[in-house]
């Protein structure tokens, strides 16, 4: 049984159709990339899974449960955590408060404290800035905070939307490294990226979305050598 499964999902914004039949699966323990150009429908795909956007037809399931019509807080409660495009840090709240919000549904406070300690270990720069306002962090730091915040929820699976956006190459490498560490510790990952090269280096498999449908699917190592990918997404 797949951890996350999209079966022919269609989504409209008003009259505009953003997704025209997305089908994909992510198995437990996998790290899968979702590639595609601007406006292809990557963010909409993640938002449909997390319940921010309602699908018009098709079915989304998580761990065998139908979440097509689930409310966002139920999706989070089930362990599927979406780290949104543009980080969406609560800018006037401190780093610590942002992390605490990540654990909003975790009733056991000791567990939240333990997870925060673990995140501070994984991302020491957050520990140093614990009392600083989230909005004053650099872009890379904010991305780390967004990922750290998602970890406090104790995710079974993370969906990351363009974590490399706007970051210097060195920082991108660091973010990708953190993402693979998270996977190595047992969390399944769906990684949306425009930076296909960076994404394919750390993922097992990838899907390409074009015009709201999944067009290409394959193992990352194969896709790195696939001419369709090279021409369209990896540059010459």
Partner 1 sequence: MIQLIWDGLFVGSFYALIALGYSMVYGIIKLLNFAHGDIYMLGAFIGFAVLTSVGGIPASLSIGALLVVMLVSMLLTGTAGVLIERLAYRPLRGAPRLAVLITAVGVSFSLEYGISALAGPNPRAFPIRLEGNVFVLLGARISLPQIILMLIAAMLMVLLNFYVEKTSTGRAMRAISLDRNASLLMGINVNQVISRTFFIGSALAGAAGVMAGAYYGKIDFLMGFIIGLKAFTAAVIGGIGNIKGAMLGGLVLGFVEAFGAEWFGGQWRDVFAFAVLILFLTLRPTGILGQRVTERV
Ligand X SMILES: Nc1ncnc2c1ncn2[C@@H]1O[C@H](COP(=O)(O)OP(=O)(O)OP(=O)(O)O)[C@@H](O)[C@H]1O
Judged by CB under 8 A, the chain residues 94 through 123 that form the site for partner 1 are 97, 100-102, 104-105
Q: Which residues of 73-101 are buried (b: 16+ CB within 10 A; e: fewer)?
A: eebbebbbbbbbbebebeeeebbbbbbbe
Residue 68's binding partner out of ligand X, Mg ion, partner 1, none, with CB under 5 to 8 Å set by partner kind: none
* Smaller CB separation from Mg ion, 77 or 211: 211
Q: Is 44 in the site for Mg ion (CB under 5 A)?
A: no
Give the separation between CA 66 and CA 6, rounded to whole angstroms: 10
Task: Provide the minimum distance between the beta carbon of 45 and ligand X in the complex, in angstroms, as a whole number.
Answer: 7
Site string for ligand X, 160-199 (x = CB under 6 A): ----------------------------------x-----
Q: Is 72 in the site for partner 1 (CB under 8 A)?
A: yes
Q: Is 44 in the site for ligand X (CB under 6 A)?
A: yes
Burial class (CB in 10 A: 0-12, 13-18, 19+), 54: exposed
| Phi/psi of residue 47, nearest 5 degrees | -65, -30
Give the separation between CA 65 and CA 162, rounded to whole angstroms: 26
Measured distance between the N- and C-terminal CA atoms of the chain, rounded to whole angstroms: 38
Q: Is 195 in the site for Mg ion (CB under 5 A)?
A: no
Residues in contact with ligand X by CB under 6 A are 13, 16, 18, 36, 38-44, 85, 194
Residues in contact with Mg ion by CB under 5 A are 43, 85
């Amino acid at each position: 049984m797949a951890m996350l499964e999209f079966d022919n999902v269609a989504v409209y914004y008003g009259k505009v159709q953003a997704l025209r039949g997305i089908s994909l699966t992510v198995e437990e323990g996998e790290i899968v990339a979702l590639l595609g150009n601007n406006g292809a429908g990557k963010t909409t795909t993640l938002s449909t899974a997390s319940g921010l956007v309602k699908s018009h037809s098709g079915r989304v399931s998580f761990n065998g449960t139908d979440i097509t019509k689930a409310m966002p807080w139920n999706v989070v409660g089930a362990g599927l955590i979406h780290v949104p495009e543009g980080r969406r840090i609560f800018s006037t709240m401190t780093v610590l408060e942002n992390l605490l919000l990540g654990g909003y549904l975790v009733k056991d406070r000791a567990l939240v404290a333990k997870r925060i300690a673990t995140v501070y270990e994984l991302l020491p720069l957050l520990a140093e800035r614990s009392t600083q306002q989230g909005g004053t962090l650099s872009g890379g730091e904010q991305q780390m905070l967004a990922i750290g915040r998602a970890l406090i929820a104790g995710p079974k699976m993370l969906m990351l939307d363009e974590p490399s956006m706007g970051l210097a190459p060195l920082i991108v490498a660091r973010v990708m490294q953190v993402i693979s560490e998270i996977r190595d510790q047992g969390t399944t990952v769906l990684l949306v990226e425009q930076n296909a090269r960076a994404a394919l280096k750390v993922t097992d498999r990838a899907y390409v979305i074009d015009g709201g449908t999944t067009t290409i699917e394959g193992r990352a190592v194969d896709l790195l050598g696939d001419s369709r990918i090279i021409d369209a997404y990896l540059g010459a």
